[in-house]
Structure 1
C-alpha cells in the first residue's frame, strides 16, 4: 500500500461521497434487512450480528477492492435479496437459512471464477447498459420532488443549496446539501431523540449451516438470480458508464466469497452496488476519475465503523427522516442520471433500443421473480438485434 500516493489523491469531496454512500446504503434499506432476519427466526442478538457482519463485509470489500483496482468499487448487501428472504424464509429454520446464504454465495463465486459474467456484460452495448442504469436511478431522481409532500421546506432548502453550490462550489455540492439537511433536522424539536441513541457495541453470533435441498432450490437459487440481475448487472453498468474497465469476474468472485465466509454470522448476500456506486463515481465525487477510488476507500472505512458500532449506528441512521434520505440520494444522483440518459440516446442506431430498455426498467415489471433491470436489458438487446436485421435487409 502506497500511503503517500493515497494522501496525495485524498480529497474532501471523495471522502464525503463515501460517507453519503454509506449513509444512504444503511438508512434506505436497513429496515428490510431487519424484516429478513426476523423472517429467518433471528433473535435480537442475531439481528445485531447481521448488521455488524454486513458492515464489516461491505467495508472490507469496498476498501481492498478499491485499493487494488484504483477504482471506486462499492459493494452492498442485496436489498432485493433481503426483500426476497423476508417473504421466503417463513418455513425455513435459521441454520437452514445460513445454508441458503452460503449456497447462493458459492454460486456467485463460481460464476465469477468461470468468467461467464464478464463475457455476458461484454455482449451488452454501452447505450443499453446506460439506459438500464438511468431507469434504475430514475425513481431516485423523482424522489426529490415526491419527498416534498412530506417536508417541502427541508427538501426545497436542500435543492436550492445544491443549485447554488453547483455554480460556486461544485466539488462540495453534496457535502453542502448533506449539511443543509442535517441543520434542518437539528433545528426542530425532535432533535431530542438524538439523546436516546444507545452507545453500545454488539458481537457476532456464528451459527453452523444446515442443508435443506428444498430450501436451497426454492430460496437459494432465487436469491442468487435476484442478486445477480438486480444488483450486479446495474453495478457493472455504473462502472462501465463512468468509464472504468475494471474486470468484472474477480469482483463477482470476491463478493461471492465474502458471502460464503460471512454467511454464518448473517452476511446473507454481498454484491456490487449500483445507487451508492453512482454517487462515488460521478464528477461530484472528483473531477479526475483516477482519484475517485478514494471514495471507495472512504466508504470502506465508514462501513467498517458502522459494522463495529452495531446498534448505535443503526439507531443514528434511523433518526434521519426518510424525506431527507430520499432527497439526498436523488440530488446526489442527478448528474449520473443525466449523463447516462445522454449516452443512451446519443446514437440514432441504438436510440430506440435504449428507449425500450429505459421504459421497461422504469416500469418495474417483474417476471418469474426477476427484477425489471434484467428484463430491460433483455428487451433492449432483442430490439437492437431486430433493428440491425432490418437495417441489413434494406442494404
Structure 2
C-alpha cells in the first residue's frame, strides 16, 4: 500500500517569523531588564555602569542570536541570565561591602563565568560535573535566592500602595487574558506611574543620560567573588538556562549544537563582562516564542525568527540608557515590584523541581532556607553556603545507601 503523502506546509509571508522574533525580544527584554539592573546595582555598579551592563548584554545576546540562527538555520535565541541577575541581587543585598572588592571584583567574577562557559564547550567533563549536582539542590538554591525578590510586590504594597497597586493589578488582569504579555504590560503600567511622578514632582531628566554609553571596568579577582559570585552564577546559568534551553528546543524538533552554542555565548559573556554584562546563555522560557509553530508553520523557516530576535535586541540595546533612567526616576518600590512579578514563574518552577522527589526533599529544604536567609560569611554569599549545606545534608542522609 502506498504511503499517504503529508499535506504541504502552507507558505506564510516572511513578516510572520520576523514579527515572532520582534515579539520574542520585546517580551524577553521588558520582562526582566529591571532584574538585571537591580542585580548589577546590588554588587556595586553605579547607575552608569549598570546601564552599560544592560547595553553590553543586549548587544552580545543580539549578535549571538544572529550568529547561531543564521549559521545553523535553527531558531536558536540567546538571553541574559535572569536567574543569574537575581542571584547578584541576593548576593549584594547587604550592600557593596558584602562583596569583597566591590564592583571590580564582580566584573572579575563575570569574566570567570565566561571562562567556565567556554571550558564547558571545550572540556565535556566540566558539563558532566555540573550535571552531577542533583537538580533538586540546584533548583532549591535558585528558589531561595528568588524568594526575597518575589516578596517585593507584596512588601511594596505597604511602602507605596498608590504606585504598586496599578502595576500588580495590570499584571493580574493580563496574567489571565494574555500571560505572555503580563509582565511587559506591568512594566508599561510602572512607566505610566513614573511619568506621572516626574510630571507632578518636577524631576529633571538629563538628555545626555538617555544616550547609550559603554563604561569599562578593570576587573580584579578575589576569592570571595570567585566562590560567592562566579561559581553560583555559573551553576545557576547552566542549570536554569542552558540545559532547559536545549530541552525546549528539542521539544520543537531542533537539536542545538552544544559546543558551538557554548563557544558563542561564552565569547559573548567574555566580551560583555568588562562593560558590566554578567552572562549570556541560551534562552529557555522565551525560546518557545521563536521556535514554536505559532512563529512559522514551516520548521525550516523559523530560523528567520531567531535572526529577527537578534536584530531586535540590538535595537533595544540602543534604548538601554533610557530604560535605566526610568529605573532611577521610579518612585519607591515600583521597580522592585515589577522585578518580583517577572520572577514569579521562575520561582514557582524552581520550588516545584526542588521538592518533587520526596527522597531529596530534606536536603532541598535546607538549601532553600540557607539561600533565602541571605547570610554571608567571609565575603561569600548565601548561594554558595546553601549549595554546600544542601550537598552535605544530602551526603549525610544518603551515606551507606545504594
| Structure 2 counterpart of 1:168 | 177
- The answer for unaligned runs of 5 or more in structure 2 is 1-12, 251-255, 296-301
Normalised by the length of structure 2, the TM-score is: 0.68
1:257 equivalent in alignment to 2:259: no
CA distance in 1, matches of 2:42, 2:113: 19
| Structure 1 counterpart of 2:78 | 73
| Structure 2 counterpart of 1:267 | 275
1:117 equivalent in alignment to 2:126: yes
Normalised by the length of structure 1, the TM-score is: 0.69
CA distance in 2, matches of 1:97, 1:12: 32
* Distance verdict in 2 for CA 1:290–1:362, change over 3 Å: farther
- 8 Å Cα contact 2:211-2:322 kept in structure 1: yes
- 8 Å Cα contact 1:15-1:294 kept in structure 2: no
Identify the match of residue 237 of structure 1 among 223, 227, 239: 239
* Distance verdict in 2 for CA 1:58–1:220, change over 3 Å: farther
| Structure 2 counterpart of 1:143 | 152
* Distance verdict in 2 for CA 1:273–1:362, change over 3 Å: farther
| Structure 1 counterpart of 2:60 | 57
| Structure 2 counterpart of 1:212 | none
| Structure 2 counterpart of 1:369 | 379
User: Is the partner of 1:74 in helix, strand or coil?
Assistant: strand
CA RMSD of aligned residues (A): 4.9
CA distance in 2, matches of 1:59, 1:169: 26
* Distance verdict in 2 for CA 1:73–1:132, change over 3 Å: farther
1:348 equivalent in alignment to 2:358: yes
| Structure 2 counterpart of 1:131 | 140
CA distance in 2, matches of 1:356, 1:100: 26
CA distance in 2, matches of 1:101, 1:339: 26
- 8 Å Cα contact 2:145-2:383 kept in structure 1: yes
* Distance verdict in 2 for CA 1:288–1:153, change over 3 Å: farther
- The answer for unaligned runs of 5 or more in structure 1 is 39-43, 210-214
1:331 equivalent in alignment to 2:316: no
Q: What's the offset of the Cα at 1:353?
A: 1.6
Q: What's the offset of the Cα at 1:356?
A: 1.5
